[in-house]
Amino acid sequence: MSTVSSETFSNILLEQVREGVYLLTINRPKVLNALNEETLEEMNQALSIIITDKSARVLLIKGAGEKAFVAGADIEHMSHLSPIEGKAFAEHGMHLFRRLETLDIPVVALVNGYALGGGCELAMSCDFILASENAKFGQPEVNLGITPGFGGSQRLTRLVGRAMAMELLVTGRSMSADEAMRRGLVNHVYPLEELLDHGLKLASMIAGKSGSAIQLTKQLVQRGQDLDLDNACIMESDLFGLSFSTDDRTEGMAAFLENRAPNFS
């Protein structure tokens, strides 16, 4: 692994672990990787670095240590906020997570341990989630007398359905990794010691595909999910046509007809 940024980060690590594959680690294990303003800003800076790298194909996100992915937003930090400051903190997180969600490349959360509150919201803003067997997911904000602030009420409803989202939001209970997979929140569950290896294997698989096709496909999924079916299918036809303008389409079809592996640019 090699650090790819000249920036001095205090709360995160950003590394290019394989060709085209970035790994962002929330690095505050003493506070279970809780999110404060500085951490959110460093993550924003990391995304700016990744965006400028045209060879980037996949971003993996994990938490430092074995206890937590991200245990939530930093309660010590939030306890001192005024209503106006609280709204600004939420907007900061909302902007970052939406930016992550609409990144041109796939983003995969590797969830080890607690993913509660802001941690669950961070995981849900990724394209999909791989979890360790000890992972716990939940939105326990009601226990603090507040609502979710980084999109939890909206993404959770879209991912697990209205009734289950309401249950989780108003009870504050957490879900095990197995339940989260049954509910459709998590794609795969692995032993903790195998989580990163499986994430890297998946990332390498994605990195070998057509970058332009993956970018357009992500746009279809992200933008189409809230459209009616007719307009969503029109968008798919448009982007299908657009994909025929790419070098990757020429290479991919030529490779298929020549019975060889494609060499995507």
Per-residue pLDDT band at 238 (split at 50, 70, 90): very high
Mean of the pLDDT values across residues 20-46? Answer: 97
Mean of the pLDDT values across residues 191-199? Answer: 97
Instruction: Give me the pLDDT at residue 12, please.
Output: 97
CA–CA dist 156, 124 (Å, integer):
7
Tell me the pLDDT tens digit for each residue of 76-100: 999 999 999 999 999 999 999 999 9
Class of domain 211-257: mainly alpha
- Which residue is associated with the tokens 């106006």? 84
At 60, is the secondary structure helix, strand, or coil?
strand
Instruction: Give me the pLDDT at residue 90, please.
Output: 97
Domain-by-domain residue ranges, the chain? 2-207, 211-257
Q: Looking at the predicted structure, is the pLDDT value of residue 122 above 50?
A: yes
Per-residue pLDDT band at 265 (split at 50, 70, 90): confident
Q: Chain-wide mean pLDDT for the chain?
A: 95
Share above pLDDT 70 across residues of the chain, in percent, rounded to a whole number: 97
The DSSP call for residue 15 is E
CA–CA dist 31, 74 (Å, integer):
8
Q: Within 13 Å of residue 113, how many CA atoms lie on the same side as its CB?
A: 16
Q: Quote the pTM value.
A: 0.94
In angstroms, what CA-CA distances link 206 with 6, 56, 119?
A: 27, 11, 24
Class of domain 2-207: alpha beta
Letter for the amino acid at 127?
D
Instruction: Give me the pLDDT at residue 6, please.
Output: 46
Tokens found for residue 261:
């592996």
Residues annotated catalytic, as ranges:
121, 141
Q: Compute the C-alpha angle 205/60/144, nearest 5°.
A: 145
Tell me the pLDDT tens digit for each residue of 124-166: 999 999 999 999 999 999 999 999 999 999 999 999 999 999 9
Tell me the pLDDT tens digit for each residue of 4-19: 554 579 999 999 999 9
Q: Interhelix angle for 229-243 vs 211-224, to 10°?
A: 170
Instruction: Give me the pLDDT at residue 8, please.
Output: 76
